[in-house]
């Protein structure tokens, strides 16, 4: 068991280092100069050179990369090239906003996907099952950059029920949570249905029914409980989908989260802030998936042996 956990932790550290290094190199290969963005076209070459030296951008990429890893090892994210503010202060509030949106999207996903998947499995081949498969296929094929504006047109402009954008007004989280949660609910529905269908034909469920147990107890306590491992894995992967989709969704709804900060920082060529945002998103994704993997290993010895 200890070897299993150590292996997962080593993989987590290796993936995190690879993500940090790859993002650092790719951002520095993108065309554009943050010094020109900060000073404007009217700045003199001497001013540009002085600012570039003060920011350390005149050093080779390898030196900048080593310095960046050194700061990370001490828990320092650096300063913004644009505002000169500590990055920790910039991202703290944004992380809370993104976490709030992600939690709401997961609630939408579970509230829709879990009962619909169980119902589809219990009505295999019937109208409910066919309707669930059709709806999930449609939901998974709709991109968030189309779904978000359509929800705004319907619920904000046409009906006037919900605010268009921002975070200050009550109910502002509903539309972005639906935009993120509906595609995730479709994927969860299909996984719940597939896992339940594998379990419903097992002998121990026939025995439970033969003993006269209530159908609801057989479904929840026996079938759904034994089908939980694949569902937990999908939920862990869905968090990555929430974080990736939040960049587009937060831009559409002007949600002041980490995704919107990432887009703003890319436009300003603010390398440290972009690196910090991508680092937080990627590490959250990697940590949650590693935690899900470890939890599945604790619950099922077959996972540890594999």
- pLDDT of 306 > 60? The answer is no
To which H or E segment does residue 48 belong? Answer: helix 45-55
Point out the least confidently predicted range of 61-70, 112-121, 163-172, 236-245: 236-245
How far apart are alpha carbons 230 and 187 in whole angstroms? 12
Per-residue pLDDT, 1? 59
Per-residue pLDDT, 182? 92
How far apart are alpha carbons 152 and 288 in whole angstroms? 31
- pLDDT of 155 > 70? The answer is yes
How far apart are alpha carbons 91 and 276 in whole angstroms? 8
Per-residue pLDDT, 164? 85
Q: How confident is the model at residue 39 (pLDDT cuts 50, 70, 90)?
A: low
Which residue is listed with tokens 């831009």? 251
Mean pLDDT computed over 31-54: 71
Per-residue pLDDT, 179? 92
The CA-CA-CA angle for residues 184, 299, 288, to 5°, reads 40
Bin 162: left if φ > 0, else alpha if -120 < ψ < 50, else beta: beta
Beta-ladder partners of 86: 79
Mean pLDDT computed over 71-75: 76
Q: How confident is the model at residue 31 (pLDDT cuts 50, 70, 90)?
A: low
166 φ, ψ (degrees, to nearest 5): 90, -175
Q: How confident is the model at residue 134 (pLDDT cuts 50, 70, 90)?
A: very high
How far apart are alpha carbons 120 and 131 in whole angstroms? 9
Question: What CA dihedral angle connects 203, 208, 209 and 215, to 10 degrees?
Answer: -120
How far apart are alpha carbons 119 and 20 in whole angstroms? 43
* Highest mean predicted confidence (pLDDT) among 85-89, 178-182, 278-282: 178-182
Q: How many residues does the chain have?
A: 306
* HSE-CB for 39 with a 13 A CA cutoff: 16
Two tokens, residue 214: 């209530």
- pLDDT of 98 > 80? The answer is yes
How far apart are alpha carbons 180 and 223 in whole angstroms? 28
pTM score of the predicted model: 0.78
Mean pLDDT computed over 87-110: 88
Per-residue pLDDT, 176? 92
Long-range contacts of 33-39, Cβ-Cβ distance < 8 Å, separation of 24 or more: 33/269, 34/81, 34/82, 34/268, 34/269, 34/270, 34/271, 37/82, 37/268, 37/269, 38/81, 38/82
Mean pLDDT computed over 60-69: 82
Confirm if 48 and 35 have CB atoms less than 8 A apart: yes
pLDDT tens per residue across span 216-262: 777 777 777 777 777 877 887 777 667 767 888 888 898 888 888 88
- Position with higher pLDDT, 298 vs 215: 215
Share of the chain above pLDDT 90, in %: 10
Per-residue pLDDT, 171? 84
Q: How confident is the model at residue 263 (pLDDT cuts 50, 70, 90)?
A: confident
pLDDT tens per residue across span 170-191: 788 999 999 999 988 998 999 8
Per-residue pLDDT, 74? 76
Q: How confident is the model at residue 108 (pLDDT cuts 50, 70, 90)?
A: very high
Q: What is the average pLDDT value for the chain, to the nearest integer?
A: 81
CATH class of residue range 95-269: mainly alpha
Confirm if 88 and 77 have CB atoms less than 8 A apart: yes
């Amino acid at each position: 068991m200890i070897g299993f956990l150590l292996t997962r932790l080593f993989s987590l550290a290796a993936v995190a280092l690879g993500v940090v290094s790859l993002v650092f190199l790719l951002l520095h290969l993108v065309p554009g100069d943050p010094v020109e963005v900060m000073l404007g076209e009217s700045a003199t070459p001497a001013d540009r050179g002085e600012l570039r030296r003060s920011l350390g951008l005149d050093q080779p990429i390898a030196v900048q990369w080593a310095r960046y890893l050194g700061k990370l090892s001490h828990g320092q994210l650096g300063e913004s090239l644009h505002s000169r503010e500590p990055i920790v202060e910039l991202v703290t509030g944004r992380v809370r906003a993104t976490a709030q949106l992600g939690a709401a999207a997961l609630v939408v996903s579970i509230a829709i996907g879990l009962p619909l998947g169980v119902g589809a499995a219990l009505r295999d081949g019937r109208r409910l099952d066919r309707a669930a498969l059709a709806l999930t296929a449609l939901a998974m094929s709709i991109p968030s950059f189309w779904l978000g504006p359509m929800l705004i047109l319907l619920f904000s402009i046409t009906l006037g029920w919900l605010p268009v954008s921002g975070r200050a007004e009550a109910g502002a989280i509903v539309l972005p949570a639906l935009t993120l949660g509906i595609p995730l609910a479709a994927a969860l529905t299909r996984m719940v249905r597939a896992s339940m269908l594998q379990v419903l034909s097992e002998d121990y469920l026939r025995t439970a029914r033969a003993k006269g147990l209530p159908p609801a107890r057989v479904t929840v306590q026996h079938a759904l409980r034994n089908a939980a491992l694949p569902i937990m894995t999908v939920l862990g992967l869905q968090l990555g989908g929430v974080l990736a989709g939040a960049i587009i969704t937060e831009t559409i709804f002007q949600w002041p989260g980490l995704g919107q900060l990432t887009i703003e920082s890319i436009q300003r060529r603010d390398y440290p802030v972009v690196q910090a945002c991508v680092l937080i998103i990627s590490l959250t994704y990697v940590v949650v998936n590693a935690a899900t993997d470890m939890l599945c290993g604790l619950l099922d010895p077959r996972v540890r042996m594999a």
